[in-house]
Amino acid sequence: MAVTVFQQDRTRLTARPDTTVESKLKYKWLPRPKIHGEENSRYEYMGFPDPVEAVLKRRGFGSEFVRSDYSGFSPWNALPGADKASLILEKAIRNREMILVHGDFDADGITATATAIRVIRALGGTAQFYIPCRFREGYGLGETAVRKCIESGAGAVVTVDCGITAMEEVAALRKAGVKVVITDHHKPSEILPDADALVDPELSGEGNSPWRYLSGAGVIHFVLRGLAERMGSGDIPELEPDLVSIGTVCDMVSLTGDNRILVKRGLKALRSNPSAGIQALMRASGVKQLELTARDIGFGLGPVINSSGRLAHANGAVNLLLETEPRLAEEMASALEKVNKKRRNLDSRVFTEASVLLDNTDARVAVAASDLWHPGVIGISASRLARQLNRPVILIAWDGATGRGSARGVHGMPVYPIVLRAMEEGLLLKFGGHEQAAGFSIDKSMYHEFKLFVESFAKSLYREAPVPVLYIDGGLDSEKCNSSVLHALEELGPFGEGNPEPVWIARGVYPASFRSVGQDGKHLQVSFQQGAETLRGIGFGLGHRTSELNRMLDIAFTLSADTWRGRDAVQLVIKDIKPAARRLI
């Protein structure tokens, strides 16, 4: 069949781009290394096309990976601490005590909060939620939250996606007679809070457990499954991981093990029976319900949910996810999309200005700050800049004498150790995060010293900047770029961190026609000729590379359905182009 994509008169793109950052990197193409590495994996793939079988074998994924479903999900009490946490919550419900759910203001924390509220209420409990204001209170369980909790008369507090470093706050709550359950997935400090129950995969020390890299929403899902079982209601519909799948994808945790099962099950629930709030959110963000993918979550639903906590207050997003009345949900989703549009504009400004500031720096970690940036969007801009510059980026937004900072790393250069050391050196006021992402607050008077320290420490930590690598899963000739291969690839999903979408190469293709498309000619629309076949595709962010299309090329690409033309139409999403070479990778 012919492989077709964008006609000359098309007005929209049917594949959601991975990034809007123009690629200035010179990639080194390498075969993708084995990801899973299970020695006992069985490689019976039930008639998959040869290219797809080759992908599974190269990644070390056996037939059990393909067949994995919710029945293979880990027992809820396999996660250390979940048993004790669910028991405390059960007692609070049976004693008719109010349970306060304390969440975080990003998509993971928001979905975790809404999940906990709806399950506790479905089980007959009384639950309220509290999410701090990003700008007045900052991240985590703070003094204001402790005071509000005590004033509310809560018998128990359960944190989601936060709390593992809140020593003083937990002590204050327990002194007031409040039971405290901490559920988190962030790195703990050397001293742990004296909570009644602690649930955090980071505490296990295990690296290969299916639950090891759960998101915050995934962690509370384990506890809530245990709670429902204790209450004799283990099969209530509120336990479906629809919202959990959104938090898992948006927090960019590895989509292997239990995370992959949660997202597969959650996507199924979102496609077949979404809540009123999610339906309204899909319409507002332009996502098609029946065709929903993990990419749609990451680039469609997630940014809208995140925008509330970045520019306003995350309560709006939580209330939307809990709303059951369609008309109200539509109004709330529409309001949230307006906030998201403002977020995009602010992010564009920060990204442009930070790009200028960092254009000539050769530091291993790029650091910049401004009084004009909105603190709610600097994390997004830092992520985009880190991808463009292929090194960690730290951005700081000043508000008077203090600033809020966001740090983002890249593959091979984690940023967490650097920010941790800066905190230990007394250069920061507060911080927390993951290997590749961290947030902090800083006194403006310490900025110069902080910047010098980061650049110096990073130089000793990363002797050489890594060469940007594009991992290739195999060759795919034009006749194999078809719907049969595409549909088989979908069985390997959902794709994301830990299970990236397969990238293919086609050798010796000639660019028969091409043009720059999209706003400011940002994207590249191109038709390639290989033998008797025509391969047409789109290169997001590659509109500036038209001068390279005057010769035979090797192309690296992913396969995608062309929803404009129908389910069986296929398009190529170009990742990189090189002059044609004889030698295979």
> Can you give the pLDDT at residue 134?
82
Q: Which domains does the chain have, with CATH numbers?
A: 28-64+469-579 (2.40.50.460), 70-240 (3.90.1640.30), 360-461 (3.10.310.30)
Model confidence band, residue 352 (pLDDT cutoffs 50, 70, 90): very high
- Is 546 in a helix, a strand, or coil? helix
Question: In the predicted model, what is the mean pLDDT of residues 537-559?
Answer: 89
* 8 A C-beta contact, residue 185 and residue 219: yes
> Can you give the pLDDT at residue 568?
65
Phi–psi pair at 240, nearest 5 degrees: -60, 135
Q: Can you tell me the distance from the alpha carbon of 323 to that of 52, in angstroms, rounded to the nearest whole number?
A: 41
CA distances from 492 to 248, 293, 300, 365 (A): 17, 12, 21, 35
pLDDT of residue 6 exceeding 70:
no
Q: Kindly give the residue spans of alpha helices, DSSP state H, lying in 478-527.
A: 483-490
- Give residue-wise pLDDT tens across range 379-420: 999 999 998 888 999 999 999 999 999 999 988 888 999 999
Model confidence band, residue 437 (pLDDT cutoffs 50, 70, 90): confident
Question: In the predicted model, what is the mean pLDDT of residues 493-517?
Answer: 89
> Can you give the pLDDT at residue 302?
93
- Give residue-wise pLDDT tens across range 154-186: 999 999 999 999 999 999 999 999 999 999 998
- CA 161, 166, 169, 171: dihedral to nearest 10 degrees? 120
pLDDT of residue 205 exceeding 80:
no
Is the bond into 392 cis (omega within 30 degrees of 0)? no
CA Rg value for the chain? 24
Instruction: Name the residue with tokens 């959650």.
Output: 266
Q: Label each residue of 249-303 as H, E or C.
A: HHCCCCCCHHHHHHHHHHHHHHHHCCCHHHHHHHHHHCCCHHHCCHHHHHHHHHH
Question: In the predicted model, what is the mean pLDDT of residues 249-268?
Answer: 93
> Can you give the pLDDT at residue 43?
56
% residues pLDDT > 90 (the chain): 58
> Can you give the pLDDT at residue 13?
41
Give the other-Cβ count within 10 Å of 489's Cβ: 22
Copy the structure tokens of residue 297.
């979550």
In 3D space, the residue among 1, 11, 2, 5 whose CA is nearest the CA of residue 536 turns out to be 5
- The residues, any chain, with a CB within 8 Å of residue 27's CB and separated by 6 or more, are 468, 469, 470, 556, 576
Question: In the predicted model, what is the mean pLDDT of residues 14-33?
Answer: 63
Of the ranges 7-11, 303-307, 387-391, 540-544, the best mean pLDDT one: 303-307
pLDDT of residue 1 exceeding 50:
no
Q: DSSP E strands: which ranges in 52-161?
A: 98-102, 126-130, 156-160
Q: Can you tell me the distance from the alpha carbon of 416 to that of 452, in angstroms, rounded to the nearest whole number?
A: 17
Question: In the predicted model, what is the mean pLDDT of residues 202-225?
Answer: 92
Question: In the predicted model, what is the mean pLDDT of residues 320-344?
Answer: 95
The CB-side HSE value for 320 (13 A sphere, CA atoms) comes to: 31
Model confidence band, residue 521 (pLDDT cutoffs 50, 70, 90): confident
* 8 A C-beta contact, residue 259 and residue 221: no
> Can you give the pLDDT at residue 46?
61
- Give residue-wise pLDDT tens across range 65-97: 877 788 889 999 999 999 999 999 999 999 999
Predicted TM-score (pTM) of this structure: 0.86
* 8 A C-beta contact, residue 220 and residue 265: no
Question: In the predicted model, what is the mean pLDDT of residues 257-262?
Answer: 94
> Can you give the pLDDT at residue 565?
56
* 8 A C-beta contact, residue 264 and residue 494: yes
* 8 A C-beta contact, residue 336 and residue 284: yes
Question: Where is pLDDT greater, at 540 or 466?
Answer: 540
- CA 25, 29, 34, 35: dihedral to nearest 10 degrees? 20
- Give residue-wise pLDDT tens across range 483-500: 888 888 888 889 988 889
CA distances from 351 to 230, 388, 489 (A): 49, 11, 34
> Can you give the pLDDT at residue 310?
86
Q: Can you tell me the distance from the alpha carbon of 531 to that of 72, in angstroms, rounded to the nearest whole number?
A: 45
- Give residue-wise pLDDT tens across range 37-68: 554 455 565 678 888 888 888 888 877 787 77
- Give residue-wise pLDDT tens across range 443-466: 999 999 999 999 999 988 887 777
Question: Where is pLDDT greater, at 533 or 239?
Answer: 239
pLDDT of residue 8 exceeding 50:
no
pLDDT, mean over the chain: 88
Q: Can you tell me the distance from the alpha carbon of 376 to that of 472, in angstroms, rounded to the nearest whole number?
A: 35
pLDDT of residue 2 exceeding 50:
no
Q: Can you tell me the distance from the alpha carbon of 220 to that of 149, in angstroms, rounded to the nearest whole number?
A: 20
Phi–psi pair at 334, nearest 5 degrees: -65, -40
> Can you give the pLDDT at residue 39?
45
